[in-house]
Chains A and B, each alone.
Chain A
Amino acid sequence: MNSPFTGNPVATRLDVARGVGMMGSEAALRKILATVLVSLSADVPAMDAALQAGDVAAANRMHAIKGYMPIFDSDALIERVVAVEKLSKTESAAVVQVPYSQLGPELYGLLDEIQLYLDSG
Chain B
Amino acid sequence: MTPLFANAACKRVAGANLGWLAPDILVLICFIHKEPLKMKVAYARILVVDDDVVMRTFVVNSLRRLGIHAIETAGDGGSALRAMVSFKPDLVLTDIHMQPMNGIEFVQQLRKHANPLVKKMKVIFMSADASAETLEQALPLGTYGYIVKPPRQEILQAKLELALK
Q: Report A's interface with B, CB cutoff 8 A.
A: 22-24, 28, 31-32, 35-36, 39, 63-64, 66-68, 70-71
In the bound complex, what is the Cα–Cα distance between A57 and B151 (angstroms)? 26
Q: Report B's interface with A, CB cutoff 8 A.
A: 4, 51-55, 57-58, 61, 65, 97, 127-129, 149-150, 152-153
Known: A22-B150, A24-B65, A68-B149. 11 other contacts (CB 8 A): A22-B58, A23-B58, A32-B57, A35-B53, A39-B52, A64-B51, A67-B52, A67-B150, A68-B55, A68-B150, A71-B54
Given contacts A39-B52, A64-B51, A67-B52, contact A32 B128 (CB under 8 A): no
In the bound complex, what is the Cα–Cα distance between A121 and B139 (angstroms)? 44
Beta-carbon contact of B61 and A23 below 8 Å = yes
Beta-carbon contact of A70 and B150 below 8 Å = yes
Closest B residue to A64 by CB, please name it: B52
In the bound complex, what is the Cα–Cα distance between A70 and B155 (angstroms)? 15
Beta-carbon contact of A32 and B97 below 8 Å = no
In the bound complex, what is the Cα–Cα distance between A32 and B55 (angstroms)? 9
In the bound complex, what is the Cα–Cα distance between A67 and B65 (angstroms)? 20
In the bound complex, what is the Cα–Cα distance between A67 and B128 (angstroms)? 5
Taking CB atoms, residues of chain A closer than 8 Å to B128 are: 63, 66-67
Closest A residue to B54 by CB, please name it: A68
In the bound complex, what is the Cα–Cα distance between A22 and B4 (angstroms)? 14
Taking CB atoms, residues of chain B closer than 8 Å to A32 are: 54, 57-58, 61
Closest A residue to B126 by CB, please name it: A67
Beta-carbon contact of B97 and A63 below 8 Å = yes
In the bound complex, what is the Cα–Cα distance between A63 and B103 (angstroms)? 15
Closest B residue to A89 by CB, please name it: B129
Closest B residue to A85 by CB, please name it: B128
In the bound complex, what is the Cα–Cα distance between A32 and B54 (angstroms)? 7
In the bound complex, what is the Cα–Cα distance between A66 and B51 (angstroms)? 14
Q: Most chain-A CB neighbours within 10 Å: which of B53, B54, B55, B153?
A: B54
27 contacts between A and B (CB under 8 A): A22-B58, A22-B150, A22-B152, A23-B58, A24-B153, A31-B57, A31-B61, A32-B54, A32-B57, A32-B61, A35-B53, A35-B57, A39-B52, A39-B53, A39-B54, A63-B97, A63-B129, A64-B54, A66-B128, A67-B55, A67-B127, A67-B149, A68-B52, A68-B54, A68-B55, A68-B149, A71-B54
Taking CB atoms, residues of chain B closer than 8 Å to A67 are: 52, 55, 127-128, 149-150
